[in-house]
């Protein structure tokens, strides 16, 4: 019996909805940092651990994702991932203490493998002429999730400050951060239900010898070749690469000479995408904007702008990726990202910090702090020196609670320069590094090793992301914003040099054609 007919666009959008939930999960936490830090009296490293817990968990999950995908299939793996999102969202929302919150977020991080599995699935069902566009939907979903989270955080923050009776009745004013995190529960349940409506990956079915079912599914998706020709081509690829029949043989094949070029390209993109600091800005968006002295409410609003810009330019990438190509977008994006990050470095490098006696008096009264009167009219050349002076008379908890207002009053900085740098970086990342990583991961590896290769390099990218998230609060307070942004800029330059020499163009090529170009004989 033939399966129910499916649209390739529908299937791609359903699978990519998991990336939307990941974006929600990652960005919702950014709005809770101040509230959770105050409630549980967290240190910089504890804040980093709270934000990065999913990033640590996904490292473990990715070690077995490839095996699970090849064993039970892409569809069943995604269904399991969606259930983990539901459990984590509920547990995080009702976490009674810091330790429970960390555990709940760690469990949720196991589901972050949804990105690599989604890219794998879409790459395997998509006709070559629209594969780039369809895989890019994954990145669109992420940034829409980020943007939605920033809107939600800002909306919840404004409501929590309202004097309406129902706000107090549902504890929105006292449990603000729980309402922010609780939003994720509903879309996670919706995704779980939708995943039962999509077919299995035809390439996976061919690997398992279920060719007739694979032909029925391929026939629905308007491939360039007939179902019979498509099956024959995939079977030929599998014969050429017998490693496809064994998970461990596939993993070993990644280190073979013939895959060296594909591996170097994937490794470079995996590292550079995260080493440019995108998740420091996205996961800590309000914190980053507080560093330029705009205040808490304005910081949340600017985070909303970041989300909107990210969505807009990811959509631009969808329209350009199969027309302009992967290589031009990635190369131009790396140049713009590096320049914009250097602009941020210059902006923070030129900043100075000074509090007047009147400002200190007002802040002391409104935030119930004392002992900083001796700092009146003293000028500090860096944020590090300013914060160090504050730490001599304030506890870490007191400083965290008052940091936004202290920076807002003390800093003298060209806000336009820093904001321009940040927004240009968001533009550059979302039309290049963000979506193209997943497109290339889905294209550059032979069918036989793709089930292992994508999770392996997603693991590497996630590992870099974890370190960025974990140590960003500490680096911000111990090295300073200027030097942090300089490191990110240098990472972009290094990535450009490597990829300019190695990255081929892959648009409008079948996976087998790309394999012939990248894989040495």
Domain membership flag for residue 2: no
Could you give the count of Cα atoms lying within 13 Å of 440 in the half-sphere of its Cβ? Answer: 30
Our CA dihedral for 45, 27, 314, 260, rounded to 10 degrees, sits at 40
Same-domain check for residues 395 and 489: no
Q: Which among 360, 383, 412 is the end of a domain?
A: 412
- Spell 340-373 as b/e; 16+ CB within 10 A means b: bbbbbbbbbbebebbbeeebbeebeeeeebeebe
> What tokens appear for 131 in the block?
């594969």
Q: Which among 412, 429, 459 is the end of a domain?
A: 412
Higher pLDDT, 71 or 88: 88
Higher pLDDT, 247 or 440: 440
Instruction: With cut-offs at 50, 70 and 90, classify the pLDDT of residue 238.
Output: low
Q: What's the confidence (pLDDT) of residue 405?
A: 82
The one-character DSSP state at 294 is: -
Q: Percent of the chain beyond pLDDT 90?
A: 26
Q: Which residue has the tokens 């140590």?
A: 471
What CATH number does the domain containing 270 carry? Answer: 1.20.1250.20
The answer to whether residue 515 scores a pLDDT higher than 80 is: no
> 379 is in which domain, residue-wise?
352-412
Instruction: With cut-offs at 50, 70 and 90, classify the pLDDT of residue 20.
Output: very high
Same-domain check for residues 464 and 364: no
Higher pLDDT, 7 or 398: 7
> What does residue 332 show for φ and ψ, rounded to 5 degrees?
-65, -35
Three-state DSSP state, 291 = coil
Domain membership flag for residue 443: yes
Could you tell me which of 310, 312, 285, 311 has the C-alpha nearest to residue 300? 285
Same-domain check for residues 54 and 82: yes
> What tokens appear for 95 in the block?
């976490």
Domain membership flag for residue 3: no
Rounded to whole angstroms, how far apart are CA atoms 207 and 500?
A: 34
Q: What's the confidence (pLDDT) of residue 236?
A: 67
Distances (CA, A) of 380 to 241, 376, 412: 62, 11, 10
First to last CA, the chain: 41
Instruction: With cut-offs at 50, 70 and 90, classify the pLDDT of residue 239.
Output: low
- Spell 453-486 as b/e; 16+ CB within 10 A means b: bbbbbbbbbbbbbbebbbbbbebbbebbbbbbbb
The burial of 189, by beta-carbon neighbours within 10 Å (0-12 exposed, 13-18 middle, 19 or more buried), is given as middle
- Spell 113-143 as b/e; 16+ CB within 10 A means b: bbbbbbbbbbbbbbbbebbbbbbbbbbbbbb
Q: Which residues pair with 355 in a beta bridge?
A: 376
Please name the residues in contact with 232: beta carbons below 8 A apart, sequence gap of 6 or more: none
Domain membership flag for residue 105: yes
Highest mean predicted confidence (pLDDT) among 182-186, 286-290, 361-365: 182-186
The one-character DSSP state at 378 is: -
Same-domain check for residues 401 and 296: no
Q: Percent of the chain beyond pLDDT 70?
A: 91
Number of separate domains in the chain: 2
The one-character DSSP state at 432 is: I
Q: Which among 412, 432, 462 is the end of a domain?
A: 412
Asked if 355 and 385 count as a contact pair (C-beta separation under 8 A), the reply is: no
Domain membership flag for residue 60: yes
pLDDT tens across 471-483, in order? 888 888 888 889 9
The answer to whether residue 295 scores a pLDDT higher than 70 is: no
pLDDT tens across 248-260, in order? 666 777 777 777 8
The burial of 374, by beta-carbon neighbours within 10 Å (0-12 exposed, 13-18 middle, 19 or more buried), is given as exposed
Same-domain check for residues 328 and 384: no
Distances (CA, A) of 175 to 156, 160, 170, 382: 10, 9, 9, 35
Asked if 427 and 314 count as a contact pair (C-beta separation under 8 A), the reply is: no
Instruction: With cut-offs at 50, 70 and 90, classify the pLDDT of residue 242.
Output: very low
Instruction: With cut-offs at 50, 70 and 90, classify the pLDDT of residue 513.
Output: confident
The answer to whether residue 370 scores a pLDDT higher than 60 is: yes
Q: What's the confidence (pLDDT) of residue 7?
A: 83
Please name the residues in contact with 436: beta carbons below 8 A apart, sequence gap of 6 or more: 269, 317, 321, 326, 329, 330, 333
């Amino acid at each position: 019996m033939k399966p129910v007919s499916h649209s390739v666009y529908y299937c791609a959008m359903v699978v990519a909805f998991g990336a939307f939930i990941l974006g929600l999960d990652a960005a919702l936490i950014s709005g809770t940092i101040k509230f959770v830090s105050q409630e549980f009296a967290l240190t910089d490293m504890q804040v980093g651990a709270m934000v990065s817990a999913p990033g640590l968990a996904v490292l473990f999950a990715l070690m077995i994702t490839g095996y699970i995908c090849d064993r039970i299939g892409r569809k069943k793996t995604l269904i399991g991932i969606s259930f983990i999102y539901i459990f984590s969202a509920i547990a995080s929302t009702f976490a009674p203490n810091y330790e429970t919150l960390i555990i709940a977020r760690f469990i949720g991080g196991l589901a972050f493998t949804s990105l690599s599995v989604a890219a794998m699935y879409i790459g395997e069902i998509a006709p070559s002429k629209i594969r780039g566009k369809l895989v890019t939907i994954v990145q669109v979903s992420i940034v829409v999730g980020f943007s939605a989270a920033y809107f939600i955080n800002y909306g919840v923050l404004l409501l929590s400050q309202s004097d309406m009776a129902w706000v107090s009745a549902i504890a929105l004013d006292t449990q603000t951060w729980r309402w922010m995190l609780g939003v994720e529960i509903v879309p996670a349940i919706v995704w779980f239900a939708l995943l039962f409506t999509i077919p299995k990956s035809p390439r996976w079915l061919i690997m398992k010898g279920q060719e007739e079912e694979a032909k029925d599914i391929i026939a629905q998706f308007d491939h360039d070749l007939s179902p019979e020709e498509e099956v024959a081509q995939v079977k030929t690829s599998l014969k050429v690469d017998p490693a496809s029949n064994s998970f461990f043989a596939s993993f070993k094949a990644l280190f073979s000479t013939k895959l060296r070029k594909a591996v170097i390209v994937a490794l470079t993109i995996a590292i550079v995408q995260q080493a440019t600091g995108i998740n420091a800005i996205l996961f800590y968006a309000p914190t980053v904007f507080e560093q330029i002295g705009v205040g808490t409410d304005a910081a949340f609003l600017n985070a909303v702008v970041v989300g909107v810009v990210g969505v807009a330019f990811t959509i631009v990438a969808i329209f350009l990726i199969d027309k302009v190509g992967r290589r031009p977008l990635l190369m131009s994006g790396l140049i713009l990202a590096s320049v914009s990050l250097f602009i941020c470095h210059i902006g923070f490098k030129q900043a100075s910090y000074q509090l007047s006696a009147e400002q200190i008096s007002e802040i002391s009264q409104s935030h119930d702090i004392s002992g900083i009167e001796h700092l009146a009219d003293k000028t500090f050349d860096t944020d590090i020196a300013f914060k160090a002076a504050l730490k001599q008379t304030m506890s870490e908890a007191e400083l965290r609670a008052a940091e936004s207002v202290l920076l807002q009053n003390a800093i003298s900085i060209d806000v336009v320069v820093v904001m321009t740098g940040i927004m240009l970086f968001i533009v550059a990342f979302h039309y290049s590094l963000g979506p193209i990583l997943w497109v290339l991961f889905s294209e550059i590896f032979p069918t036989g090793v793709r089930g292992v290769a994508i999770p392996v390099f997603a693991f590497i990218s996630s590992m870099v992301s974890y370190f960025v998230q974990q140590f960003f609060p500490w680096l911000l307070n111990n090295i300073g914003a200027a030097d942090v942004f300089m490191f990110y800029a240098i990472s972009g330059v290094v990535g450009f040099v490597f990829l300019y020499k190695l990255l081929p163009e892959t648009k409008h090529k079948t996976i087998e054609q790309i394999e012939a170009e990248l894989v040495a004989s």
